[in-house]
């Protein structure tokens, strides 16, 4: 039983470490946070249980692909300090998988949330509540800062010790 709990700990640490070190993972998490906030806090969108399941699936695919992409990048960097065609192909293919999943997630979001009436309600809500509009704008500013600055010095990638701290992106 202890090994099972340890394995969950390792998995959560992998998610957390990727969130800390990878800007694209922070983009995915910020987009998900906004989407679920608008879906669960406000009552503008009509979403069925099946549609929620599709949104969850799309989000899980993007996050899983980003985790795999990070693992591939780190493994390639660990395997060789030299740039190789195979290393480049591995990294590019993993990044392409993330892109495919992200496009699927956006298309799913548009299909489920492309509700003109909901966006009109949202517009009128913010027009009638300028204080909430200000809160939203400030949250966008903070989210943008978080995406690009992350967790400060902890968000910088760990240097590749084989190269004396110089990153070799294939």
Is pLDDT above 90 for 15?
yes
**What is the distance between the alpha carbons of residues 152 and 48, in angstroms, rounded to a whole number?**
39
* Options 22, 66, 85, 158, the catalytic residue: 66
Annotated catalytic, 66?
yes
pLDDT per residue over 132-156, tens digit each?
Answer: 999 999 999 999 999 999 887 666 6
Taken in order of first residue, the domains within the chain and their CATH numbers are: 17-163 (1.10.287.3610)
The pTM assigned to this predicted structure is 0.85
At residue 114, φ and ψ (nearest 5 deg) are -75, 65
Is pLDDT above 80 for 57?
yes
pLDDT per residue over 16-28, tens digit each?
Answer: 999 999 999 999 9
| Helix or strand run (H / E) with residue 84 | none
pLDDT per residue over 82-125, tens digit each?
Answer: 899 999 999 999 999 999 999 999 999 999 999 999 999 999 99
Q: Is 45:118 a contact under the CB 8 Å cutoff?
A: yes
**What is the distance between the alpha carbons of residues 83 and 89, in angstroms, rounded to a whole number?**
11
The per-residue pLDDT for 152 is 76
The per-residue pLDDT for 156 is 60
Structure tokens of 69? Answer: 């992409």
């Amino acid at each position: 039983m202890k090994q099972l709990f340890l394995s969950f700990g390792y998995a959560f640490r992998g998610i957390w470490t990727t969130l800390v070190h990878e800007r694209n993972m922070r983009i995915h998490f910020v987009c998900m946070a906004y989407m679920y906030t608008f879906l669960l806090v406000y009552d503008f969108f009509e979403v069925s249980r099946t549609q929620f399941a599709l949104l969850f699936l799309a989000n899980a695919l993007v996050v899983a692909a980003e985790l795999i992409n990070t693992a591939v990048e780190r493994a390639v960097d660990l395997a060789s300090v030299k740039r190789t065609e195979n290393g480049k192909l591995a990294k590019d293919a993993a990044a392409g998988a993330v892109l495919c999943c992200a496009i699927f997630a956006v298309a799913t979001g548009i299909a489920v949330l492309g509700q003109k009436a909901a966006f009109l309600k949202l517009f009128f809500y913010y027009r009638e509540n300028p204080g909430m509009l200000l809160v939203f704008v400030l949250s966008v500013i903070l989210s943008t800062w978080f995406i690009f600055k992350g967790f400060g010095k902890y968000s910088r990638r760990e240097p590749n010790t084989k190269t004396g701290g110089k990153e070799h992106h294939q």
